[in-house]
Amino acid sequence: MPPPPLSQADITRIAEQVSLLMQLDRTHNNVATTVDMAALANVPDYIASVFEEAGAVGSELSNAELYRQVNKRVAQVQAQIYLMRVEMENRSERDPAQIYQDPLAIAAYGERLQTLTSMTKSFGFDPAVLAHGWYPVEREGGRAHRWMRPGDMSVACIPHLGIADQVVEISGHVLDVAQLEGLVIRAGTTEADILPDANAPTRFIARLVLGAEAVKSANYLPVEFVMTDFRQPNAQDTRLLGANISAFTCRPATTAQAPVPA
């Protein structure tokens, strides 16, 4: 007699195990494929230990301690490069949430170099920002920007400073100042303060004040933009436009200054 058919739950469990084994086999047997839940809880340190052991010397050295420190640091760098490749393989502009489907990708996003948490960084709406619900990228003055298009929401996943208290400032503008009344920008449960420019009321900066807990799960911060009032810019351009976003700035919370709209 043929075996009974597998249930949907059985197929799901098998698929999960196969997925884990495939993710751990990316370096073609250089990284063990044994499923170890303790290792999966902190994948970057685990991968670093594999590279560290592979690079260790078998004989006693007079400067063994120095070598151990250097080898450990090189192993950490190797682990970062490994996870960068995992990150690139899992990025999808059409489905930003896809990054959460791969445990190694989650580890890649969650692991940041400590020095980066103290450096302010600013960037336009370039390819480093995973996005959904926007019109195509436009460029002006060397900086990329995008318009929200009609829909339930627009999403931009931005690279932040790592696991640290920080302030994210988002620069943009609308066609009519009345549109700001229907604009909501949030990250998780944190809603941004939208501060219009006193000299140019259609321009604004949205400020998100985030604690380390709010950004610890991923290197990319999903920011949601909700708009209720879309406008047509002119007779020639028949698109319905929401807010135009042109810049993102991430700065440590301890050094955050009052924003000055661009």
Whether residue 72 is found in the same domain as residue 123:
no
Whether residue 96 is found in the same domain as residue 152:
no
Whether residue 121 is found in the same domain as residue 229:
yes
More confident residue, 169 or 40: 169
Whether residue 96 is found in the same domain as residue 194:
no
More confident residue, 89 or 12: 12
Whether residue 137 is found in the same domain as residue 69:
no
Cα separation, 123 vs 144, whole angstroms: 9
- Boundary (domain end) residue, out of 69, 93, 109: 109
Average pLDDT over residues 106-122: 59
Go through 196-230 and write b for each residue having 16 or more CB atoms within 10 A of its CB, e for each that does not.
Answer: bbeeeebbbbbbbebeeebbeebbbbbbbbbbebb
Cα separation, 212 vs 206, whole angstroms: 19
Q: What is the CATH number of the domain that holds 117?
A: 2.60.120
> Phi and psi dihedrals of 193, rounded to 5?
-85, 125
CB 243 within 8 A of CB 133: no
Cα separation, 214 vs 6, whole angstroms: 40
pTM of the shown model: 0.55
Q: Residue 32, Cβ neighbours under 10 Å: how many?
A: 13
Q: Is residue 262 part of a domain?
A: no
> Phi and psi dihedrals of 98, rounded to 5?
-60, -25
- Its domain, for residue 161, covers 113-255
Whether residue 51 is found in the same domain as residue 104:
yes
More confident residue, 248 or 75: 248
- Boundary (domain end) residue, out of 109, 127, 157: 109
Whether residue 245 is found in the same domain as residue 133:
yes
Please check the confidence at residue 34 and state whether its pLDDT lies above 70. no
Q: Is residue 140 part of a domain?
A: yes
- Boundary (domain end) residue, out of 109, 127, 144: 109
Number of domains in the chain: 2
Whether residue 73 is found in the same domain as residue 128:
no
**Which of 262, 250, 84, 227 lies closest to 158 in space, CA to CA?**
250
More confident residue, 159 or 183: 183
Please check the confidence at residue 159 and state whether its pLDDT lies above 70. yes
Q: Is residue 260 part of a domain?
A: no
Please check the confidence at residue 116 and state whether its pLDDT lies above 80. no
H-assigned helices in the chain: 8-24, 37-41, 43-54, 64-90, 103-110, 212-215
